C-alpha cells in the first residue's frame, strides 16, 4: 500500500463529510474552506529527506525546496478520536424519584477534563445530600424549578431556588443536595471538571450510613444502634417524596461575590452575542464563586455558524438541547473529524483543538457549553488572519490568487 493510501485509510485526508462541512463553512467564512480543501487535496508522498540532512548545531545549511505542503505519515500521528456521543442514548441510573444519564471518559475516552450528566427529578423528589471527591459541579436548569442546599468547609450553608436558565456551581468536595419545587418535574444538565467523574462514584449519605458499623453510628450520633435498622439499605440517590410547595421553599442566598447561584439569562453582563447567534456566558469575572469552571448557553440561528476557533486554556463540553448541526474538530497533523449532532447528543473538544459548529437544521441550535477553567479564553481564525500582516498571510497561502487573499482578510 502506498503512503497516500495508508494516510487515507487512517482519516488523514478530506472525506466526503468533511467536504460537506467545509462547503457550508465557506459561505460563512469568506471562502476559507475552499483554501483548506485546495491545500489538503495536494499530492502527498514519502519524505525525501534523509537522517542528518540540514547539518548539526551551528553547522546548519539550507536544503533544496521540498513539497508545497507537508506530508503527515500516519505512523507519526495518532488516530483522530471520536469526540461525540448520544448522552441521552445512555442507560439511565434510576431510583424512586428520578433518573440520570452520563457521558464520561469511561464511555468516550477523549473526555479527560470534563464529564456531563442529564438529571431528571420527579415532583417531590430530592437528590440526596452528597459530595464529589474529584470534581466541582456546574449546572444549567433546563425546565422546572428546584432548590439546592450547599455547605462549605467553614460550616456555612446557602439555600437557593432555581428556575429555567439559572446556573449553580459547587466546588469540589462541598456537600450539597437538590430538591424539586412545585408540582412540575425539574431537569438540568450537569458538568464536572474531571472526565473520570461518574454518578456511580458519588459520596451519598445513605450509602455511607448503610455501610458503617451500627455501633460506630450510635456512638457518632448519641443514639441507640437499633434505631439504624430503619435506615435505607443502600443509596437512595434520587428519592421520591411529598411535593414541596413553592411558598414553603426556603430561600437564603449569599451575597453576589460568594453565592453559588447565577441567573444566566437575566444577567446583562453574561450576554456575548455574535454574528450568527446569541451566547450567554458566566465566567469567574461575572460569577466569582465559579473559580474552576465557566459555561453558558449558545444559540445558533438556522444556516449560521460559530466560527473556526480554539480555546487555549480549557477543555470544552457540549450538550445539545435542540436542533441539529455539524461540528468539525481539527486535531493537527492533517486530521479533522466531522460529526453530526442533534438534541440529546454531547461533544468534547480538548483544549487547543480547532473547532466550529454549523446549524444545519430549520430551527435554532441550542448548546449548553462548559469549560474547565474559570477564565474564558478564545482565539478565532478569522481575527488572527485579519490582524496578521497581509504579506505573511499571502506567503502562507502560496498559490492562492491575491484577490482571494484580499477577500479572506475582509471577511
Domain membership of residue 217 (yes or no) is: yes
Helix H or strand E encompassing 369? strand 365-371
Q: How many CA atoms lie within 13 A of 120 on its CB side?
A: 13
Does residue 45 contact residue 378 with C-beta atoms inside 8 Å?
no
318 assigned to active site:
no
Q: Which three cell numbers stand for residue 265?
A: 439569562
> Residue 13: which residues within 8 A CB-CB, separation 6 or more?
7, 40, 44, 334
Q: Would 162 be classed as within a structural domain? A: yes
Q: Which of 18, 130, 260, 318 is catalytic?
A: 130
Residue 236 lies in a domain: yes
The answer to whether residue 19 is catalytic is no
CB 279 within 8 A of CB 273: yes
pLDDT score, position 47: 60
Helices 16-28 and 32-41: angle between axes, nearest 10 degrees: 150
DSSP for residue 345: E
Cross-strand pairs, 160: 148
- 225: domain CATH number? 2.60.120.10
In a domain, 31, yes or no: no
* Start-to-end CA span in the chain (Å): 41
CA dist 385 and 20 (Å) reads: 23
Instruction: Give CA 409 to chain center in angstroms.
Output: 30
Chain position carrying cell 464563586: 289
Establish whether 176 is a catalytic residue: yes
- Residue 187: domain span: 91-248
Active site residue 377: no
CB 102 within 8 A of CB 90: yes
Residue-level pLDDT at 104: 97
Q: Tell me whether residue 221 is in a domain.
A: yes
Burial status of residue 393 (CB atoms within 10 A of its CB: 0-12, 13-18, 19 or more):
middle
Give residue 18's pLDDT.
45
Active-site hit among 10, 18, 127, 335: 127
- d(Cα 225, Cα 222) in Å, to the nearest integer? 9
Report pLDDT for 411: 63
Which regions in the chain score pLDDT beneath 70?
1-47, 411
Whether residue 337 lies in the annotated active site: no
Given 10, 72, 85, 176, the catalytic residue: 176
Buried b or exposed e, range 355-382, using 16+ CB within 10 angstroms: bbbbbbbeebbbbbbbbbbbebeeebbb
Specify the pTM: 0.88
Which pLDDT score is estimated for 17? 42
Q: Which of 137, 235, 307, 326 is catalytic?
A: 137
At 139, list the grid cell. 449546572
In a domain, 142, yes or no: yes
Number of domain units in the chain: 1
Taking CB atoms within 8 Å and a gap of at least 24, the contacts of 265-269 are 265/164, 265/165, 265/166, 265/297, 266/165
At residue 93, φ and ψ (nearest 5 deg) are -95, 115
Concerning whether 127 is annotated as a catalytic residue, the answer is yes
346: which 3 cell numbers? 454531547
Catalytic residue among 18, 72, 132, 318: 132
The C-alpha cell 471527591 sits at: 133
In a domain, 401, yes or no: no
Give, to the nearest 10 degrees, the angle between helix 32-41 and helix 402-410.
130
Residues 6+ apart with CB under 8 A from 27: none
Provide the greatest CA pair distance for the chain: 87
3-state secondary structure of 218: helix
> Strand, helix or coil at 73?
coil
Query: Does residue 62 sit within a domain?
Result: no
Amino acid at each position: 500500500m502506498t503512503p497516500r493510501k495508508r494516510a487515507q485509510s487512517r482519516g488523514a485526508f478530506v472525506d466526503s463529510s468533511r467536504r460537506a462541512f467545509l462547503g457550508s463553512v465557506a459561505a460563512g467564512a469568506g471562502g476559507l474552506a475552499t483554501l483548506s480543501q485546495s491545500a489538503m487535496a495536494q499530492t502527498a508522498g514519502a519524505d525525501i529527506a534523509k537522517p542528518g540532512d540540514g547539518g548539526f548545531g551551528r553547522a546548519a545549511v539550507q536544503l533544496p525546496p521540498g513539497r508545497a505542503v507537508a506530508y503527515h505519515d500516519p505512523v507519526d500521528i495518532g488516530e483522530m478520536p471520536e469526540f461525540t456521543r448520544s448522552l441521552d442514548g445512555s442507560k439511565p441510573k434510576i431510583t424512586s424519584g428520578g433518573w440520570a444519564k452520563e457521558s464520561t471518559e469511561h464511555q468516550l475516552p477523549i473526555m479527560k477534563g470534563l464529564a456531563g450528566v442529564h438529571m431528571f427529578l420527579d415532583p417531590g423528589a430530592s437528590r440526596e445530600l452528597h459530595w464529589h471527591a474529584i470534581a466541582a459541579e456546574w449546572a444549567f436548569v433546563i425546565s422546572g424549578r428546584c432548590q439546592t442546599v450547599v455547605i462549605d468547609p467553614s460550616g456555612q450553608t446557602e439555600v437557593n431556588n432555581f428556575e429555567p436558565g439559572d446556573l449553580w456551581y459547587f466546588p469540589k468536595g462541598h456537600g450539597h443536595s437538590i430538591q424539586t419545587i412545585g408540582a412540575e418535574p425539574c431537569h438540568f444538565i450537569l458538568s464536572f471538571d474531571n472526565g473520570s467523574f461518574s454518578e456511580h462514584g458519588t459520596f451519598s449519605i445513605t450509602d455511607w450510613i448503610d455501610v458503617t458499623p451500627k455501633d460506630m453510628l450510635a456512638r457518632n450520633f448519641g443514639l441507640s444502634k437499633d434505631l439504624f435498622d430503619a435506615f435505607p439499605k443502600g443509596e437512595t440517590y434520587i428519592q421520591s417524596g411529598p411535593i414541596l410547595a413553592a411558598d414553603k421553599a426556603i430561600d437564603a442566598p449569599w451575597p453576589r461575590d460568594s453565592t453559588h447561584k447565577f441567573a444566566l439569562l437575566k444577567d446583562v453582563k453574561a450576554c456575548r452575542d455574535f454574528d450568527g447567534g446569541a451566547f450567554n456566558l458566566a465566567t469567574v469575572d461575572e460569577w466569582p464563586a465559579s473559580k474552576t469552571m465557566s459555561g453558558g448557553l449558545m444559540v445558533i440561528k438556522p444556516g449560521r455558524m460559530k466560527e473556526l476557533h480554539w480555546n487555549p486554556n480549557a477543555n470544552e463540553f457540549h450538550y445539545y438541547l435542540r436542533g441539529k448541526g455539524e461540528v468539525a474538530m481539527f486535531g493537527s497533523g492533517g486530521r479533522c473529524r466531522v460529526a453530526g449532532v442533534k438534541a440529546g447528543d454531547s461533544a468534547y473538544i480538548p483544549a487547543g483543538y480547532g473547532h466550529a459548529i454549523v446549524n444545519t437544521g430549520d430551527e435554532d441550535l441550542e448548546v449548553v457549553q462548559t469549560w474547565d477553567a474559570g477564565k474564558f479564553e478564545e482565539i478565532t481564525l478569522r481575527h488572527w488572519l485579519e490582524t496578521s500582516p497581509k504579506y505573511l498571510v499571502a506567503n502562507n497561502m502560496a498559490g492562492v490568487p491575491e484577490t482571494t487573499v484580499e477577500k479572506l482578510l475582509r471577511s
